[in-house]
Amino acid sequence: MARTLALLSLLPILLAACALNPWRGEPPRVSLSDIRMVDAGVLEQHFRVKMRIQNPNPDDLDVRGIDVSIDVNGKGLLTGSGKTGTAVPGLGNVTVEIDAYSTLAGLARQLGQLSQGGTRALSYRMHGVVFVGDLGRRVAFEDAGEVEIPGLPGG
């Protein structure tokens, strides 16, 4: 009997915890829009990554931040994270920009692969998490594609 009362007394707390996370719905879709080099040092390169966030839900989506990794031709190249503080309208989309960084080793791998020829396109895979709502719920995302690069040897 005492055990049943103890469990019942926890019920309001559990229900209140569920109510604190108001976002329920389809996960946002995140796609790569643009990458620009901001600065290049000997050991580290700084890029600005622009991403489009699409909200497939009828209610606005509060995106607090993004953590992202970008692989090019199957090898890790960029990592970055940033606060966005963006409201994505219901059934709408916004673009956000974050800073990302590459190391000398990551960039050297990519340049070495390009110099060997055999391809005129770069395949990419972007993956990470979007932090949604006041509690920063983590929602995983992934996007992949291929970009044709005119003027590359090969192909």
- What are 126's strand-pairing partners? 70, 143
pLDDT tens for 105-136 read: 776 666 666 667 656 678 999 999 999 988 88
pLDDT tens for 7-63 read: 556 556 655 555 555 457 899 999 999 999 999 988 899 999 999 999 999 999 999
What domains does the chain contain, in order, with CATH numbers?
A: 25-148 (2.60.40.10)
pTM of the model: 0.76
Residue 73 pLDDT > 80: yes
CA-to-CA distance for 137 and 119, rounded, in angstroms?
39
DSSP 111-146: HHHHHT-S-SEEEEEEEEEEEETTTTEEEEEEEEEE
Residue from 122, 105, 114 nearest 45 by CA: 105
